[in-house]
Amino acid sequence: MTTPDSEQERLADAKFKLSWVWLAKGKPERAIAGLREVLQICPTHKQAPFYLEYLLQQQQDKAQRKHNPEGKISLVHQKWFATHRSGWRFALQALEPLHSDQGVLFDGCLENSFLWNGYQYGQTKAPYKQPWVGFLHNPPNMPAWFYGKDSPQVLLEKEHWQESLEYCVGLFCLSEYFADWLRSRLQKPISALIHPTEIPAVQFDFDQFVANGHKKVVQLGWWLRKLNAIYQLPIAKGNALGYEKIKLNPAFAFDAERQLVMLGEREKKAEGLVFDPSLVANTREIAHVSNQDYDRLLSENIGFISLYDTSANNALIECIARATPLLINPLPAVVEYLGKDYPMYFQSLSEAAKKAEDLALIKATHEYLKSCDTRSKLSPDYFCQSFEASEVYQCIP
């Protein structure tokens, strides 16, 4: 028999999906109204609050945007991600001083325009027929099973992309690693910038970490992560520092839980993964947490990320901003952000586990991050100044 609660949840989910349809049709006001209905029906709905805040913030950004006659770019109609803490919206807001109502068309997420809108909403992007600049985000070495259809290789083959290139002034990305790849394939100016973020008041505290009676190794994020790596990290119960392993699952979409399960299963099959029950037993999943809880989590625990590929990585940047020790594999773009001498790189999961249990190394990593060169370049002002001084911006007429 169907319970009232389950009926309400189904109705709320149906209205939530309808809100996405309105958003895809360019009707944000209808989407906002729909999300408010969702929360009236089901106040504990997991996804609706994030996306309602996202749409309200978009409206706020539009209302607050000011015309600078000396600016060169038009920042209208930008795509960013509702669940990123100081993510792409933070970066776009940093560029507001360069906005002009008569500026060159600026596309802050070219993947959204030329890939996602096509297969998510059936809206094929019309080629740009006016001067434009934009950002590419997805790196070139994405596994085929991990949304390979979002790769830059696929994007560069799209007919509407190729037609748009004639009018492209230049492209931006967020690492020299990706910039070099693009330069080898496109005869356009390419500028690489450092992704900005906030430096929060709550920072990693080594003494607090040592005193923490329930230490955690937290797997951060999901995009292009080796999602099952946290289950395979060889830290079992009864380890020297009492670690529990945490898989932190972000609410990046209305069906995030389904997508994460699907990707995890794809990875198991593609990589032929085998799991040790004793390691799985010391691993727990946590759903998306509040900003306050996230800050506290990163102030008294250490992070863990095993990547397939990356250009800029929000979780990595957030750990730099908080001086939170992070176990991570040294991919080219990672080394750009952290430097070649970063103490907690790992080449294998056994090496990662060994480093996680080395208190002296954790303290040294914390001190390293406090004086990391990138840490001084994370401010919105630095991002805006770098953008304005870039080759691409200087090419805009």
- For the chain, what percent of residues have pLDDT higher than 90? 74
- Choose the weakest-confidence range: 219-223, 225-229, 252-256, 310-314: 252-256
The tokens of 161 are what? Answer: 């992309």
Q: What is the pLDDT of residue 291?
A: 86
CB 132 within 8 A of CB 106: yes
User: Average pLDDT of 273-277?
Assistant: 98
Identify the CA nearest to 211 among candidates 359, 368, 361: 359
CB 38 within 8 A of CB 12: yes
Q: What is the pLDDT of residue 59?
A: 72
Using alpha carbons only, what angle is made at residue 102 by residues 98 and 107, rounded to the nearest 5 degrees?
65
**Confidence band of 81 (pLDDT split at 50, 70, 90):** low
| Model pLDDT for residues 127-155, shown as the tens digit of each residue | 999 999 999 999 999 999 999 999 999 99
The tokens of 129 are what? Answer: 């027929």
Please give the residue that has the higher pLDDT: either 61 or 241. Answer: 241
Radius of gyration of the chain (CA): 22
Q: What is the pLDDT of residue 371?
A: 97
Residue 108 pLDDT > 70: yes
Please give the residue that has the higher pLDDT: either 56 or 314. Answer: 314
Three-state DSSP at 193 gives coil
The C-alpha atoms of residue 73 and residue 95 are separated, in whole angstroms, by 9
CB 8 within 8 A of CB 41: yes
The C-alpha atoms of residue 298 and residue 200 are separated, in whole angstroms, by 11
240, burial (CB in 10 Å: exposed 0-12, middle 13-18, buried 19+) = exposed
- For the chain, what percent of residues have pLDDT higher than 70? 92
Say what the pTM is. Answer: 0.88
| Model pLDDT for residues 61-74, shown as the tens digit of each residue | 666 678 899 999 99
User: Average pLDDT of 393-397?
Assistant: 97
Q: What is the pLDDT of residue 122?
A: 47
Residue 352 pLDDT > 80: yes
Residue 298 pLDDT > 50: yes
| Residues whose CB is less than 8 angstroms from the CB of residue 124 and which lie 6 or more positions away in sequence, other chains included | 117, 118, 160
Q: What is the pLDDT of residue 215?
A: 99
The C-alpha atoms of residue 47 and residue 66 are separated, in whole angstroms, by 31
Q: What is the pLDDT of residue 85?
A: 66
Q: What is the pLDDT of residue 387?
A: 99
**Confidence band of 259 (pLDDT split at 50, 70, 90):** very high
Q: What is the pLDDT of residue 80?
A: 56
Three-state DSSP at 187 gives coil
Q: What is the pLDDT of residue 1?
A: 35
Q: What is the pLDDT of residue 247?
A: 98
| Residues whose CB is less than 8 angstroms from the CB of residue 1 and which lie 6 or more positions away in sequence, other chains included | none
| Residues whose CB is less than 8 angstroms from the CB of residue 116 and which lie 6 or more positions away in sequence, other chains included | 150
Beta strands in the chain (DSSP E): 73-74, 104-107, 132-135, 168-173, 190-192, 216-219, 244-249, 283-287, 302-305, 326-328
Task: Name all contacts of 77-83 with Cβ < 8 Å and 24+ positions apart.
Answer: 78/106, 78/108, 78/109, 79/108, 79/109, 79/112, 79/113, 80/54, 80/108, 80/109, 81/252, 82/50, 82/51, 82/53, 82/54, 83/50, 83/250, 83/251, 83/252, 83/288
Q: What is the pLDDT of residue 388?
A: 98
Cα distance from N-terminal residue to C-terminal residue, the chain: 66
The tokens of 50 are what? Answer: 């994030």
Q: What is the pLDDT of residue 82?
A: 54
**Confidence band of 31 (pLDDT split at 50, 70, 90):** confident
Identify the CA nearest to 249 among candidates 269, 272, 223: 223
CA 81 vs CA 48, 54, 269, 292, 294: distances in Å: 14, 8, 29, 19, 17
Residue 2 pLDDT > 70: no
Angle between helices 314-322 and 291-300 (to 10 degrees): 60
Residue 32 pLDDT > 80: yes
CB 280 within 8 A of CB 235: no
User: Average pLDDT of 233-253?
Assistant: 95
User: Average pLDDT of 318-322?
Assistant: 98
Residue 361 pLDDT > 50: yes
Q: What is the pLDDT of residue 125?
A: 64
Please give the residue that has the higher pLDDT: either 329 or 20. Answer: 329
| Model pLDDT for residues 168-209, shown as the tens digit of each residue | 999 999 999 999 999 999 999 999 999 999 999 999 999 999
User: Average pLDDT of 234-246?
Assistant: 98
CA 178 vs CA 110, 192, 309, 333, 396: distances in Å: 14, 8, 10, 8, 22
Kind of pairing, strands 244-249 and 168-173?
unpaired
Q: Over the chain, what is the mean pLDDT?
A: 92
Percent of the chain that is helix, strand, coil (3-state, to 5):
50, 10, 40
User: Average pLDDT of 79-89?
Assistant: 67
